[in-house]
C-alpha cells in the first residue's frame, strides 16, 4: 500500500471513529443514556489478515477502543459495543481492484461471499437488537455475526466449492 492509502484507511476506520466517539459520548452522558455501536471488522477479534494488515490493524484498534471507552464510562447509563459483521455483500465488493497477488483469489470472491457473506438485512436486524438494549445494562461487548451455525455452514460450503473445483484459491 502507498503511504496515502494507509493514511486514508487509518483516517476513515480509526480517526473518524475516535472523533465521533469524542462527540457522542458527552452527549449521551448529558442525555442520561445512550447506546454506541462501533463497526469493527476483519482483524477486530485479533485474527491475522494477510494482505489486509492496515485495515485489520484499524479494526483491532476499534475493538480495543470500544472496550476501553466502555470501561471509562461504566459509571454512566451507556452501552458501548463493537460489531464484526463478517463479509456483507455490498457494492464495496463490486468495485475491488485486486493487486496482482490477489487476482486469482478475486475470481473466487462471489463464491466466498456466498459462503461467508452475511445478508445486510441480518446485519440491520442485529444492530436494531443492540440498539434496543437498556443503556448501561451491558457494555463493552464485541459481537460477531459470523459465528456458530452460520460459520459452520460457511466452512462446509467453502469446502464444497473447493471439492467441486468452483474455487481454486485458498482465500
**pTM for this predicted structure:** 0.83
Q: Which sequence spans correspond to the domains of the chain?
A: 3-88+118-146
Give me the mean pLDDT over the 24-46 stretch.
Answer: 95
Nearest by Cα to 130 from 150, 147, 144, 151: 144
Lowest mean pLDDT among 46-55, 71-80, 161-170: 161-170
- The pLDDT confidence band at residue 70, using thresholds 50, 70 and 90, is very high
Superfamily of domain 3-88+118-146: NAD(P)-binding Rossmann-like Domain (3.40.50.720)
- The pLDDT confidence band at residue 88, using thresholds 50, 70 and 90, is confident
pLDDT, tens digit, for every residue of 93-124? 666 666 666 666 667 788 888 888 888 899 99
Q: What's the angle, vertex CA 10, arms to CA 19 and CA 51, rounded to 5? A: 150
Amino acid at each position: 500500500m502507498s503511504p496515502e492509502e494507509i493514511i486514508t484507511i487509518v483516517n476513515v476506520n480509526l480517526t473518524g471513529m475516535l472523533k465521533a466517539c469524542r462527540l457522542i459520548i458527552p452527549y449521551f452522558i448529558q442525555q442520561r443514556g445512550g447506546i454506541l455501536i462501533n463497526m469493527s471488522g476483519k482483524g477486530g477479534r485479533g485474527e491475522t489478515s494477510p494482505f489486509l494488515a492496515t485495515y485489520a490493524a484499524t479494526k483491532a484498534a476499534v475493538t480495543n477502543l470500544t472496550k476501553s471507552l466502555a470501561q471509562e464510562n461504566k459509571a454512566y447509563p451507556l452501552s458501548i459495543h463493537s460489531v464484526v459483521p463478517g463479509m456483507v455483500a455490498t457494492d464495496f465488493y463490486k468495485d475491488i481492484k485486486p493487486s496482482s497477488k490477489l487476482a486469482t483469489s478475486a475470481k473466487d470472491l462471489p463464491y466466498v461471499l456466498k459462503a461467508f457473506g452475511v445478508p445486510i438485512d441480518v446485519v440491520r436486524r442485529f444492530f436494531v437488537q443492540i440498539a434496543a438494549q437498556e443503556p448501561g445494562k451491558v457494555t463493552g461487548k464485541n459481537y460477531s455475526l459470523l459465528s456458530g451455525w452460520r460459520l459452520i455452514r460457511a466452512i462446509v460450503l467453502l469446502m464444497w466449492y473447493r471439492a467441486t473445483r468452483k474455487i481454486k484459491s485458498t482465500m
